[in-house]
Amino acid sequence: MKQATIYHNPRCSKSRQTLQILQDNGVSVNEVRYLDMPPSIEELDALCHAMNITPQEIIRTGENLFKELKLSLNDDRSRNEWLEILVENPKLIERPIVKVGHQVVIGRPPENVLTIL
């Protein structure tokens, strides 16, 4: 049986739909409620590397918090600084993020998860 880790917010419909797709496909799922238990900087960095993207690419720029913190994706910050911002403000992390083996995708749309099953 395949195993997956899903970083999600159960209040988010896309997260719930992605979780359902995993379960419907017989995948054993480890749920990480990242708002309660944010990933470490190292974990988040590894997820970004696995998707071949920068931390800025998983930022929810539409969140009020993004504006409140006066952030801009054009800010001159290091990769590590962006990771720190995300870990300190997990509400800004795009969701859900699903890891199966060494493959990682963002479940938007939820069907994206099928590409790594």
Mean pLDDT over each residue of the chain, to the nearest integer: 98
Q: Which residues are catalytic?
A: 12
Q: How far apart are CA 36 and CA 50, in angstroms?
A: 23
Give me the domain span that covers residue 49. 3-116
DSSP percent split of the chain into helix, strand, coil, nearest 5: 45, 20, 35
**Residue 7 maps to which CATH number?**
3.40.30.10
Q: How far apart are CA 112 and CA 91, in angstroms?
A: 21
Query: Domains in the chain: how many in total?
Result: 1
pLDDT digits (tens, 9 = 90+) for 10-37: 999 999 999 999 999 999 999 999 999 9
pLDDT in single tens digits along all 117 residues of the chain? 899 999 999 999 999 999 999 999 999 999 999 999 999 999 999 999 999 999 999 999 999 999 999 999 999 999 999 999 999 999 999 999 999 999 999 999 999 999 999
